[in-house]
Amino acid sequence: MTPIRQYVDLLSVQLRSMRDELWFVAILQLALSLGLVLGMGYLIPDVSEVTAMYLVTGTATQAFVTVGLVMLPQNLSQARAQGRMEYFLTLPISREAYLLSLVTVVAVMALPGVAFSLAFGAWHYGFSLSYDPMFLVVMVLAVFSLAGVGVAMAVYIPHQQATNAATQLIIFYVLFFSPVILPSSQLPELLQQTAKAAPPTYAADAVRATITDLPDTSLTKDIAVMGGFAVGSIALSAFAIRRRG
Amino acid sequence: MVLNTGAPPVLSVSDLVKRYRTGTVANDGISFSLHPGEIYGLLGPNGAGKTTLVRQVLGVLRPTAGTITLAGRDVVADPGFARKNVGFLPQGQFDLLTLRVGELIEFSARLRGMDPRSARVRRDELIGQLDLGQFASTSMHAASGGVRRLAGFAAAIAAPARLLVLDEPTNDVDPIRRQLLWNSMGELGEQGATVLLVTHNLAEAERFIDRLAIIDGGRIVREGTPGSLRSLVTDKLRLETAFRGDVSLHPALIAESMAPGRYLFEQRDLSAVSAWLSAAREAGLLADFRIGPPTLDDIYAAVVAPPRELEAAS
């Protein structure tokens, strides 16, 4: 059986496994997006068009972060702690196909939040979205880079509680201390430098570059870095689960 | 079943040692072989090293020392060969619990390399064989423990495999379906499948196991056919009792077996024990009793937990 057919079968298994909770995740994503778009607007008086664009594109990126860097590592870490993940490892399947199927599910789960954030945010703040065909590439890379790092967290952090704590910190970091919702210039120098090592920075930058009129000169770099995070994290995770204790 | 002890072993484990980084030695020089068509039982208390052994056979854990060969191939060097050729039913949860029963069987077959059409045919065949028809569309999550176990068994045997590793397959399964499961395993044996069976259900397994190993403290402490192991206690009889009050036990009851109210005694003490039982019954202290030959349970208890003197029972 080819790895591609394995990937398709595994993806089908993952989606079927989640069908009972997909509606819940979708509602949660919509609520989070709605809350962020509206709530941040209350925090910031006189939201300018530029600020609104940051807010809206940052919220869309946050939807990927919630699923890829929070839900996925939490679920996977729990599966690993309970020994459920090992069942897959006893099957004659490609490790990469297994990990990619997990990451693809993240895309499906994040999609409602991303689409809603962009459409509702643009309408609410009264600006129009522009559409660059590269947006689709950016979406795919955003998912794969963030969820890839999420998988690596679940695989490398030894304890489930530690993984859960790390995911909580990530939420705080992305919301308030990284240039995802806020422009980089509003952050202190230290955080501007730290942000260069964080994959959500590049995802948010790239989303902004392909869906708004904000000036951006770094799309190529964003795409390259996201690709690096995606390939690197999946390869590191596959290496870890291939290792046999 | 078709036992072929002359043929090369399907699975051969030799001097297997697994020492974890913590220093715990979970397997300490284990050696055994499984012949084609053989059902080989692996018995032992919790923490004996059974799961560690199984994980190494499955190729998900690397041994510290020793060899494991499957159909002549070194699976320590080539764990992928083990994954392709071993069907596995884990003891605990596994990550397909939210699939429906029919889907679990079908996708297990597909992920083990069967084409979609053959996988569907096999799914329907197993659903019929194990009487799972009414549960085919039930989510594994919502199914009873027994149905879940049976579906897991079906998933493990869905695709052809050189070796089946089944960890407690009959746990929680109702008596009727349990028989179907054993029948199905018997049929697999007839077809030449080789089974490594981890179990605690000794009485039941005794009827189906060809050979067994009792594992304790990371070592095989006894190995043989159920008959040969029974010879360890041939000079003894088993007594099962249900007392109504405090009773001073007869001094001839030298060993307590696994379950409460079960004892072993020497055959030569049969008359004395019978007289003691009659007296207890006449005094209204004994509700029921049964005397019989020792079972695998008793052998297991004698090997893993050595007999101890008894004081009193109620």
The parts of chain B modelled with pLDDT lower than 50 are: 1-2, 307-314
B238 domain residue, yes or no: yes
The burial of A136, by beta-carbon neighbours within 10 Å (0-12 exposed, 13-18 middle, 19 or more buried), is given as exposed
B29 domain residue, yes or no: yes
Given the cut 0.90, state whether the ipTM is greater than it. Answer: no
The closest of A77, A71, A164, A161 to A113, measured between CA atoms, is A71
Q: Decide which of B175, B208, B224 is a domain's last residue.
A: B224
CA distances from A96 to A103, B192, B258 (A): 10, 34, 47
Q: Do A86 and B139 touch (CB under 8 A)?
A: no
Domain of residue B294, residue span? 231-313
- Same domain? B203 vs B270: no
- Same domain? B32 vs B177: yes
The parts of chain A modelled with pLDDT lower than 50 are: none
Rounded to a whole number, what is the distance in angstroms from the first to the last CA of chain A?
27
Interface contact B137, partner A, CB < 8 A: no
CA distance B113 to chain A (A): 6
3-state helix, strand, coil in chain B (%, to 5): 35, 30, 35
B120 vs B106: CA distance, rounded Å: 6
Contacts of B95 in chain A (CB under 8 A): 17, 79, 84-85, 87-88
Q: Do B113 and A1 touch (CB under 8 A)?
A: yes
Q: Do A87 and B94 touch (CB under 8 A)?
A: yes
Question: pLDDT of B137-157, one tens digit each?
Answer: 998 888 888 888 899 999 999
CA distance A14 to chain B (A): 8
- pTM for the model stands at 0.81
Question: pLDDT of A127-144, one tens digit each?
Answer: 999 888 899 999 999 998
Strand partners, B313: B247
The closest of B203, B298, B283, B281 to B242, measured between CA atoms, is B281
Contacts of B61 in chain A (CB under 8 A): 244-245
Q: What is the total count of domains within chain A?
A: 1
Residue of A nearest to B56 (CA): A244
- Same domain? B252 vs B136: no
Output the DSSP codes for A164-218. HHHHHHHHHHHHHSSTTTS-GGGS-HHHHHHGGG-HHHHHHHHHHHHHS----S-
- Same domain? B287 vs B147: no
- Same domain? B149 vs B259: no
Q: Do A84 and B79 touch (CB under 8 A)?
A: no
Helix/strand/coil for B128: helix
- Same domain? B47 vs B77: yes
B132 domain residue, yes or no: yes
Question: What single DSSP character describes residue B217?
Answer: T
User: Which one of B20, B100, B110 has the shortest CB-CB distance to A9?
Assistant: B110
Decide if A233 contacts A145 (C-beta within 8 A): yes
Domain of residue A137, residue span? 3-242
- Same domain? B219 vs B260: no
CB pairs under 8 A between A and B: 79
Q: Decide which of B194, B224, B254 is a domain's last residue.
A: B224
CA distance A64 to chain B (A): 24
Contacts of A6 in chain B (CB under 8 A): 111
Contacts of A245 in chain B (CB under 8 A): 20, 60-62
Give the CATH number, domain containing residue B72. 3.40.50.300
Contacts of B77 in chain A (CB under 8 A): none
- Same domain? B211 vs B262: no
Q: Do B95 and A9 touch (CB under 8 A)?
A: no
- Same domain? B261 vs B115: no
B193 domain residue, yes or no: yes
Interface contact B195, partner A, CB < 8 A: no
B264 vs A239: CA distance, rounded Å: 53
Q: pLDDT at position B57, please?
A: 95
Which residues, in sequence order, are CB contacts of A92 under 8 Å at separation 6+? A1, B80, B83, B84, B111, B112, B113
- Same domain? B46 vs B102: yes
Contacts of A105 in chain B (CB under 8 A): none
- Same domain? B282 vs B218: no
Residue of B nearest to A80 (CA): B95
Contacts of B92 in chain A (CB under 8 A): 82-84
| Dihedrals phi, psi of B252, to nearest 5 degrees | -75, -15
CA distance B157 to chain A (A): 13
Q: Do B103 and A82 touch (CB under 8 A)?
A: no
Q: Decide which of B224, B249, B278 is a domain's last residue.
A: B224
B3 domain residue, yes or no: no
Q: Do B99 and A1 touch (CB under 8 A)?
A: no
Interface contact B77, partner A, CB < 8 A: no
Contacts of B86 in chain A (CB under 8 A): 90
